């Protein structure tokens, strides 16, 4: 015969089990609600730039329009050197700042320094990821889109015309899932890369093979859509001492270029020279890497280094080579963009 105490214990035990059960259901319920909320918010990947064959690089976002619901995350997959700036219009990359009364061209601090952290919530207004550290960055930058439904523009301030659209739609509007959106982005990138690779062959086919009237003409870059062909055509210029090479950036190029003797020493010709100002972030003044250290029309002798200023689409740059030798060069902002001038003795 069971004692009263035992029965009590059993009863208590059952009640206890019931309580634990209710708690478990409650917890499970809570957890499933939370899981549901998490499942509803998704992360969408957007390409910020991409590399292709034949030294093609796309300065664009893909998919160019990304649709999300409020609470979703956009993760930009950043290839190369880009920033993410949500706002009404792009910020200028370079501004003129006065230092002790002297105007100094400097990197716009609104672009140089972040106003929003990676992974933060975007709640509206103008925000900027700032510049990636180092010359080339491969990484991600994410924002949680915590805003009302609407259309939000964003830009890379470094590459004019590199623009994307975020459409935040109402919760009950169906949108492509992250895998479909990523596939769309990949397709948009592939289309531009393929067009540019095709055009690259055309450019190679029309490249000069010899100097005419003492000048060897080299076409620098070229584009298809937002895809830039980061090549010199021809990459080999054979001339005689006393002749010149004229580099001309293709008028349709979406990107500017440089002509830099190799090896390029970024410490000797830096793009940015920080100027320290007490109690303020440093002024990121534009350095000789960007402004050039060898004026257009200069003469170059064996062993000389030479660095053009930034050459915008349509701009030309000429050097005259007075001595025989092999003069290797590159564009210091575009990895793999290389060329060589071979100067033979005068006939
Ligand atoms: Cu270049």
Q: Per-residue pLDDT tens for 315-325?
A: 999 999 999 99
What percent of the chain shows pLDDT beyond 70?
87
Q: Per-residue pLDDT tens for 226-264?
A: 999 999 999 999 999 999 999 999 999 999 999 999 999
Q: What distance in angstroms lies between residue 282's CA and the mean position of ligand 1's atoms?
A: 27
What does the pLDDT read at residue 10?
A: 35
What does the pLDDT read at residue 28?
A: 37
Q: What distance in angstroms lies between residue 117's CA and the mean position of ligand 1's atoms?
A: 30
Nearest to 49 by CA among 124, 125, 117, 132: 132
Name, in order, each residue with C-beta under 8 angstroms of 257's C-beta and a sequence gap of 6 or more: 220, 221, 230, 247, 249, 310, 311, 331, 333, 334, 337
What does the pLDDT read at residue 80?
A: 84
Q: What's the rounded mean pLDDT across residues 2-28? A: 35
* Residues 170, 173, 179, 185, Cα dihedral to 10°: -70
Between 35 and 77, the more confident residue is 77
What does the pLDDT read at residue 139?
A: 84
Domain boundaries, the chain: 40-181, 206-344
Q: What distance in angstroms lies between residue 237's CA and the mean position of ligand 1's atoms?
A: 17
Q: Give, as residue ranges, everything with CB less than 5 Å from ion ligand 1.
A: 257, 331, 334, 337
Q: Which CATH number fits domain 40-181: 2.60.40.10, 3.10.510.20, 2.40.30.10, 2.60.40.420?
A: 2.60.40.420
What does the pLDDT read at residue 39?
A: 58
Q: Per-residue pLDDT tens for 108-134?
A: 988 888 899 999 999 999 999 988 765
Is the Cβ–Cβ distance between 292 and 218 less than 8 Å?
no
Q: What is the largest CA-CA distance in the chain?
A: 123
What does the pLDDT read at residue 133?
A: 65
Q: Which CATH number fits domain 206-344: 1.10.287.130, 2.60.40.420, 3.40.50.460, 1.10.10.60?
A: 2.60.40.420
Separation of alpha carbons 146 and 330, rounded Å: 44
Q: Per-residue pLDDT tens for 54-111?
A: 899 999 999 999 999 999 999 999 988 899 999 999 999 999 988 888 899 999 988 8
Q: What distance in angstroms lies between residue 83's CA and the mean position of ligand 1's atoms?
A: 18
What does the pLDDT read at residue 281?
A: 82
* pTM value surpassing 0.85: no
Token pair, residue 259, equals 């002509």
Separation of alpha carbons 196 and 117, rounded Å: 34
Q: What distance in angstroms lies between residue 173's CA and the mean position of ligand 1's atoms?
A: 43
Q: What distance in angstroms lies between residue 143's CA and the mean position of ligand 1's atoms?
A: 30
Q: What distance in angstroms lies between residue 190's CA and the mean position of ligand 1's atoms?
A: 21
């Amino acid at each position: 015969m069971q004692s009263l105490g035992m029965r009590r214990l059993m009863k208590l035990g059952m009640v206890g089990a019931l309580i634990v059960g209710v708690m478990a259901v409650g917890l499970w319920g809570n957890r499933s609600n939370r899981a549901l909320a998490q499942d509803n918010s998704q992360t969408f990947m957007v390409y910020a730039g991409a590399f292709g064959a034949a030294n093609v690089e796309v300065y664009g976002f893909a998919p160019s329009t990304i649709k999300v619901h409020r609470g979703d995350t956009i993760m930009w997959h950043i290839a190369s050197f880009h920033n993410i700036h949500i706002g009404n219009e792009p910020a200028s990359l370079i501004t003129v700042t006065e230092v002790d009364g002297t105007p100094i061209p400097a990197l716009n601090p609104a672009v140089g320094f972040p106003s929003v952290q990676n992974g933060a919530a975007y709640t509206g207004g103008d925000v900027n990821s700032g510049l990636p550290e180092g010359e080339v960055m491969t990484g991600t930058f994410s924002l949680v889109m915590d805003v009302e439904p609407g259309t939000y523009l964003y830009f890379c301030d470094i590459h004019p015309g590199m623009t994307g659209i975020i459409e935040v739609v109402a919760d009950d509007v169906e949108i492509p899932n992250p895998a479909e959106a990523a596939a769309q982005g990949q397709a948009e990138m592939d289309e531009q890369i393929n067009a540019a690779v095709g055009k690259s062959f055309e450019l190679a086919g029309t490249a000069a093979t010899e100097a005419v009237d003492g000048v060897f003409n080299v076409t620098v870059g070229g584009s298809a859509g937002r895809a830039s062909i980061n090549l010199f055509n021809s990459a080999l210029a054979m001339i005689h001492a006393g002749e010149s090479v004229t580099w001309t950036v293709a008028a349709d190029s979406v990107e500017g270029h440089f002509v830099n003797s190799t090896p390029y020493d970024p410490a000797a010709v830096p793009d940015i020279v920080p100027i320290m100002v007490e109690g303020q972030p440093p002024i990121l003044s534009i350095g000789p890497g960007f402004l050039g250290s060898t004026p257009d029309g200069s003469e170059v002798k064996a062993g000389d280094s030479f660095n053009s200023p930034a050459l915008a689409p349509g701009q030309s740059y000429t050097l005259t080579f007075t001595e025989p030798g092999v003069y290797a060069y590159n564009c210091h902002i575009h990895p793999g963009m290389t060329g060589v001038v071979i100067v033979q003795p005068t006939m």
